[in-house]
Amino acid sequence: MPTYIVLLGPPGAGKGTQAKILSTELGIPQVSTGDLFRAMKTQDTPFARKVQEIMASGALVPDDVTIQMVKERLHQIDCDGGAILDGFPRTTAQAEALGKMLAEEFNSSIAVVPLLTLDENDVVRRISGRRQCPECKTIYNVDPSDTEATCPKDGEKLELREDDKPGVVQQRYSVYLENTAPLVDYYRNKGLLAEFDAKQTVEKVTGDLLSAIRSRIAAG
């Protein structure tokens, strides 16, 4: 039986950071809709350009294309054992489509929905310090005023994500409150939600997540 885990939480809560670690620990891939959309940056099509425009503004990509993209990704062979969904679902329509898709096409369901909680001030502080190496893709957290920081692994100048610029971060947080926060109750009512304080260290959050996920899986 494949294991599907949905990571919920505001921008900057650490979903991507934790999804990568959980993927290694649990042996199932991270499926990040944000990463899949960012990968379209290299495609020179009107649709790919539109997606980059939407992301840069902090808005959400339309549900139909997002759902179709996730469906295709989950049908790939490396997802046979399940997936850690990072950034999907983000709307009630996406959550309903995911439940239906897992039941009808994978004869399965979501095992657990960990919610990483972080307040707005911490969201803005963390995101303004997030930088990525364009070469090895490692994500770092630096002093926001340090515009010259380089990657300790390969010396490349670290980059700020287009949608991490001031103003867009607040917009993304508002979009989260309006569209995604209702999923907290949606999954709580299904008995799938487990809450974690994302303000703790990365290691502590990982430890808490792993023990909760493993006990949910063991309980079937």
Compose the 134-173 pattern: x for residues touching ligand AP5 by CB under 6 A, - for all others: -----x-x---------------------x--------x-
Query: Among residues 60, 83, 97, 193, which is the contact residue for ligand AP5, using CB under 6 A?
Result: 60
161 is catalytic: yes
Which window, 7-15, 40-48, 95-103, 148-156, contacts ligand AP5 (CB under 6 A)? 7-15
The whole-angstrom separation of Cα 161 and Cα 139 is 10
The whole-angstrom separation of Cα 53 and Cα 160 is 16
172 is catalytic: yes
Compose the 89-128 pattern: x for residues touching ligand AP5 by CB under 6 A, - for all others: -x---x-------------------------------xx-
Q: What share of the chain is helix, strand, coil (3-state, %, to 5)?
A: 50, 15, 30
Number of residues near ligand AP5 (by CB under 6 A):
33
- Asked if 17 touches ligand AP5 (CB under 6 A), the answer is yes
**Beta carbon nearer to ligand AP5, 3 or 66:** 66
- Contact (CB, 8 A) for 8 and 180: yes
Which window, 54-62, 97-105, 184-192, 211-219, contacts ligand AP5 (CB under 6 A)? 54-62
- Among 43, 39, 37, 42, CA closest to 58: 37
- Contact (CB, 8 A) for 161 and 139: no
Q: How far is the CB of 19 from ligand AP5 (least distance, A)?
A: 7
Neighbours of 119 (CB within 10 A): 11
Measured from each CB, the residue nearest to ligand AP5 is 34
The whole-angstrom separation of Cα 3 and Cα 112 is 9
Q: Could you say which DSSP state residue 62 is in?
A: P
Helices (H), 75-180: 92-106, 120-128, 168-175
* Cα-Cα-Cα-Cα dihedral sign, residues 6, 122, 210, 192: negative
188 is catalytic: no
Binding site for ligand AP5 (CB under 6 A): 9, 11-17, 33-34, 37, 54-55, 58-61, 66, 87-88, 90, 94, 126-127, 130, 139, 141, 163, 172, 198, 201-202, 205
Active-site residues: which are they? 15, 90, 130, 161, 172
